Chain A
Amino acid sequence: MSSRNQIRYFERKDLIGFALLAVLLMLVLPAFLDVFRLNLVGKYLTYAFVALGLVLCWGYGGILSLGQGVFFGLGGYCMAMFLKLESSDPESTAIQSTPGIPDFMDWNQLTELPWWWEPFYSLSFSLLAVILIPALFAFIISVAMFKRRVGGVYFAIITQAIAAILTILIIGQQGYTGGVNGITDLRTLKGWDIRSDEAKTILYFVCCVLLIGCLVLAQFIRRNKVGRILVAMREQEDRVRFSGYDVSNFKIFVFCLAAAISAIGGAMFTLQVGFMSPTFVGIVPSIEMVIFCAVGGRLSLLGAVYGTLLVNYAKTSFSETFPELWLFAMGALFIGVVLAFPNGLAGLFQRYIEPYMPAWYWGKSKQPDPSPPPEPKTPPAETDGPPEIQESNAPTVAKTKKETETETLKGGQYVPAD
């Protein structure tokens, strides 16, 4: 009779999943990782925003976008423009031929700030722009596509083309965008040094809180009627249309929502890493984000976060040893996941672990007592297979795994693949 009650946004098992993730991100990891690695995890988490957006857009709505890097990048650039202007005050840029404008503009013979940079002096405008500009851009793309009933593979290819175009545009307009180097040398946020260890720790927590906020929002959408319409649309678009819905509006909505969530991730990336560049806009990062989502399970909100963390962890350790092989490994991982477990880690969890969960997990008794079910534990490895099995026992064991990571991650320098 459960379905006949009022819609429940959080069932017991969802609450447990969310709580475990929050504990892992906000208590366990900060307790065991030093600032450098915590910052690294924080950077991974910014990709989780994108993966989360893809769960809604691709997993639920069936709209595969291979250009989510565009929105991640736009969000990041909006933030970077504000920070850059703040660090380009006339005193610290006194040696430039035009003091008071960003250094890259000066190098490119610009003598005054372009008009569209002006509003980014305001922090409130910039924060709004972080969400609104990518959402507006997504709106334009999706109205143009979905009102004309462009979908499926065609839509995926077009988003990919847009990612390529935007990259070329950013690189080509060096004087306005910082070109291929991006916007670098970001120092302070309203006078607060974002490069200090303390700031990095605080930003990590801000990132976690925002991510969990987005997860809660996504959970709301998923359980809402909109979530069910998305699933229905994915399966029988015509039936939804002939039940009186304007299908394109729902597609536009979910695509813009995914874009806005990705953009928040981009802004947090800029804040935590201290720069933004076109390497995060293009095709390769966009596809990587789809892989994070697929590995985590494209129907699972929490899976997106674990998938992102796991793939990035593997990437960091693997690309250190075999940098040139990483992209192949990534491709193999994607194909492997799609072939062997189309629902990713979350699918494995639901299939092999959940049935053995005790009654409290399903919301029948009151006492949550997180004891992980027996599961073969494999050491953190760089291969495609084992991490899945390991991650599939989800939050509880992931904790112990992250603890062991402290050792293996030493010197794990992230190299952007592109």
Chain B
Amino acid sequence: MSLRTEFVLAVEGLTVSFDGFKAVNGLSFYVDEGEIRVIIGPNGAGKTTVLDLICGRTQATGGSIKFRGKELTRMKEHAIVHAGVGRKFQNPSIYEDLTVFENLELSFPRGHSVFGALAFKRDAEVIAEVESIAETIFLTDDLDKSAGLLSHGQKQWLEIGMLLIQKPDLLMLDEPVAGMSVAERKKTAELLRRITEGRSVIVIEHDMQFVEDIADRVTVMHQGKMLSEGSMERVKNDPKVVEVYLGH
């Protein structure tokens, strides 16, 4: 049992059923401290649903999700965030009517209650933090720009930046390089490697080259269940995986 507590995230027997259809079925996996875990699998395998379950967007039908010993399945979304779990959505979810600065500022972990927000002051700490994150995500020159004017890739980076400023212990990224140009992909891989230092990350991705670049371990999902797990090398040579996913 002492081993169990070392995991950042322990998912056990996780099941969710939508009107009888089991989108995730008895899934178990464990994420270590500082590990980059990539979840791959064909469309409809339940990858995004797993992230939804962890961050509280979807309620699990059964099983448990323990984050640093805390049971997440019964917690509210915002409480899960405060516990240290950050989530990036598949489509860039940013606030297009606000500036890049304001987007980042809103994610700064202070003033989360109504009255906290009313009393919120844009002090030197906030400004310094926003500027340092902006530098990390290559957006220093665009801070005063309206976020709606950014390119698709820049929007993805901005959302990653919005997560970074929350300083989560577990970062979950849903297809972070989808729709990016080759140059942007490269930059994003580099960005991810930098930001994953000192935190655990779960990534959903289809781009195999990208997966190979970043993954410590890979989980392959198929029809809501785990098909295979291990290093990229091992997974690539697993005949079951080749059949359902990598073969085509």
Interface residues of A (CB under 8 A from B): 1-7, 221, 224-226, 228-229, 231-232, 235-236, 238-247, 249-250, 253
Assess the B118–A245 pair: CB atoms within 8 A. Answer: no
What's the least CB distance linking A34 to chain B, in Å? Answer: 43
B112 touches A244 (CB 8 A): yes
Would A4 and B95 count as touching, CB distance under 8 A?
A: no
Within the complex, which residue of A2, A221, A242, A244 is in contact with B144, where a contact is CB–CB below 8 Å?
A2
| Contact indicator B77/A241 (Cβ below 8 Å) | yes
Residues from chain A with Cβ under 8 Å of B78 in the complex? 241, 244-247
Tell me which of A4, A226, A243, A250 has the highest count of chain B C-beta atoms within 10 A of its own C-beta: A243
Nearest CB of chain A from residue B110's CB, rounded to whole Å: 9
The answer to whether B166 and A246 have CB atoms under 8 Å apart is no
CB pair B121–A3 under 8 Å, yes or no, is no
Chain A CB within 10 Å — which of B81, B93, B105 has the most? B93
Instruction: Write the nearest CB–CB distance from B9 to chain A, whole angstroms.
Output: 16
The A contact surface, by secondary structure, is helix
Inter-chain contact A245/B112, CB cutoff 8 Å: yes
Chain B neighbourhood of A2, CB < 8 A:
144
Complex: A7 Cα to B112 Cα, angstroms: 18
Cross-chain contact of A231 among B86, B97, B114, B121 (Cβ < 8 A): B97
Complex contact B143–A244 (CB within 8 A): no
- Known contacts A7-B122, A221-B118, A229-B106; can you find 8 more A-B pairs with CB under 8 A? A3-B144, A4-B101, A224-B120, A228-B105, A232-B98, A242-B86, A244-B78, A244-B81
Which among B76, B105, B122 is the interface contact of A6 at CB below 8 angstroms? B122
**Could you tell me if A224 and B95 are in contact, using CB atoms closer than 8 angstroms?**
no
Q: Which chain B residues lie closer than 8 Å to A6 at the CB level?
A: 121-122
| B interface residues, tally (CB under 8 Å) | 40
B114 contacts which of A242, A244, A253 (Cβ < 8 Å)? A253
A3 and B99 contacting across the interface, CB-CB below 8 Å: yes
Interface residues of B in 188-221 (CB under 8 A from A): none
Interface contact A239-B113, CB-CB below 8 Å: no
A142 to chain B minimum Cβ distance, whole angstroms, is 12
Task: Give chain B residues whose Cβ lies under 8 Å from the Cβ of A246.
Answer: 76, 78, 112-113
Q: Could you list 15 A-B pairs, sorted by A, with CB under 8 Å?
A: A1-B144, A6-B121, A224-B118, A224-B120, A226-B118, A228-B102, A231-B98, A236-B95, A239-B95, A239-B159, A243-B81, A244-B112, A245-B78, A246-B113, A249-B113
Using a CB–CB cutoff of 8 Å, the interface residues on chain B facing chain A are 55, 57, 76-78, 81-82, 86-87, 89, 93-99, 101-103, 105-107, 109, 111-114, 117-118, 120-122, 127, 131, 143-144, 159, 162, 166
Instruction: Count chain A CB atoms within 10 A of each CB in B82, B93, B106, B111 and give the residue with the most.
Output: B106
User: CA–CA, A12 to B229, complex, Å?
Assistant: 61
Is there contact, CB below 8 Å, between B81 and A249? no
- Indicate if the CB atoms of B93 and A236 lie closer than 8 Å: yes
Interface-centre pick from A1, A2, A3 (highest chain B CB count, 10 A):
A3
Chain A residues with CB below 8 A from B96, complex form: 235
Q: Specify which chain B residues have a CB less than 8 angstroms from the CB of A232 in the assembled complex.
A: 95, 98, 103, 106
**Complex-state Cα separation, A134 to B98, whole angstroms:** 32
Q: Which residues from A are CB-within-8-Å of B113? A: 246, 249
A3–B97 CB distance below 8 A? no
List the 4 closest A-B pairs by CB distance, nearest first: A244-B81, A225-B120, A239-B93, A232-B95
Report the bound CA distance from A244 to B111 in whole Å. 10
A298 to chain B, nearest CB (A): 13
Cα distance A229–B114 when bound, in Å?
Answer: 10
Report the bound CA distance from A5 to B114 in whole Å. 23
Contact B109 A244 (CB under 8 A): yes
**Contact between chains at B162 and A243 (CB < 8 Å):** yes
CB-CB nearest in chain A for B96: A235
Cβ contact within 8 Å between B114 and A243: no
